[in-house]
Structure 1
Amino acid sequence: MVSETAYESISLDVTDGVATIEFHRPEVYNALNDTVMLDLLRAFDEIQLDRSVDVVVITGEGDDAFSAGADISQYAGTAEEHDPRQKDRQELFYEMYRKPFECHAPVIAKVNGYCVGGGLIFAMYCDMRISVDDAKFGVPVTDIGQIPTGNSTWRAVELVGEAKAKELVFTAGMIEADEAERIGLVNHAVPREELDETVDEIVDAIQNTGRSAVKNSKRAFNYAVDAESAEENREFESDVWWEQFATDEREQLVDEFNDA
Structure 2
Amino acid sequence: MFDYDSYKHISVDVEDGVAEVCFHRPEKYNALNTETMLDLQRAFSEFRLDRSIDVIVVTGEGDDAFSAGADIQQYAGPAEEHDPMQKDRQDLFFDIYAAAKNVHAPVIAKINGYCVGGGLIFAMYCDLRVAVDEAKFGVPVTDIGQIPTGGSTYRAAQLVGEAKAKELVYTAGMIDAEEAHRIGLVNDIVAREDLDETVAELVAAIQDTGREAVKASKRAIDAAVEAPDLETARETEAEIWWEQFATDERRELVDEFNEGSE
With the shorter chain as reference, the TM-score category is over 0.9
In 2, Cα distance between the equivalents of 1:247 and 1:137?
A: 41
Q: How does 1:1-260 map to 2 (within 5 A)?
A: 1-260=1-260
In 2, Cα distance between the equivalents of 1:14 and 1:2?
A: 10
SS of alignment partner, residue 100 of structure 1: helix
- Is contact 1:2-1:14 (8 Å) kept? no
In 1, Cα distance between the equivalents of 2:113 and 2:184?
A: 18
In 1, Cα distance between the equivalents of 2:107 and 2:2?
A: 16
Q: Which runs of 5+ in 2 are unaligned?
A: none
In 2, Cα distance between the equivalents of 1:103 and 1:88?
A: 22
Q: CA RMSD in A?
A: 0.7
Q: 1:245 deviation in Å?
A: 0.7
In 2, Cα distance between the equivalents of 1:227 and 1:181?
A: 26
In 1, Cα distance between the equivalents of 2:215 and 2:43?
A: 19
SS of alignment partner, residue 241 of structure 1: helix
- Is contact 1:130-1:189 (8 Å) kept? yes
Higher mean alpha-carbon deviation, 226-235 vs 107-116, is at 226-235
In 2, Cα distance between the equivalents of 1:96 and 1:248?
A: 33
In 1, Cα distance between the equivalents of 2:72 and 2:111?
A: 21
Q: Which runs of 5+ in 1 are unaligned?
A: none
1:23-52 per-residue CA deviation (whole Å, 9 max, x = no partner) reads 000000000000001000000001111000
In 1, Cα distance between the equivalents of 2:92 and 2:62?
A: 26
In 2, Cα distance between the equivalents of 1:166 and 1:229?
A: 25
1:214-247 per-residue CA deviation (whole Å, 9 max, x = no partner) reads 0000000111122122111110100100111111
Q: 1:211 deviation in Å?
A: 0.3
SS of alignment partner, residue 221 of structure 2: helix
SS of alignment partner, residue 89 of structure 1: helix
Higher mean alpha-carbon deviation, 25-34 vs 226-235, is at 226-235
- Is contact 1:2-1:49 (8 Å) kept? no
Q: 1:6 deviation in Å?
A: 1.0
Higher mean alpha-carbon deviation, 222-231 vs 119-128, is at 222-231
Q: 1:5 deviation in Å?
A: 3.0
Q: 1:258 deviation in Å?
A: 1.2
The ranges of structure 1 where at least 4 consecutive aligned residues each deviate by more than 3 angstroms after the TM superposition are none
In 2, Cα distance between the equivalents of 1:222 and 1:103?
A: 11
Q: Number of aligned pairs?
A: 260
SS of alignment partner, residue 219 of structure 1: helix
Q: 1:113 deviation in Å?
A: 0.2
SS of alignment partner, residue 108 of structure 2: strand
- Is contact 1:65-1:114 (8 Å) kept? yes
In 1, Cα distance between the equivalents of 2:173 and 2:5?
A: 39
Aligned residues: percent identity? 71
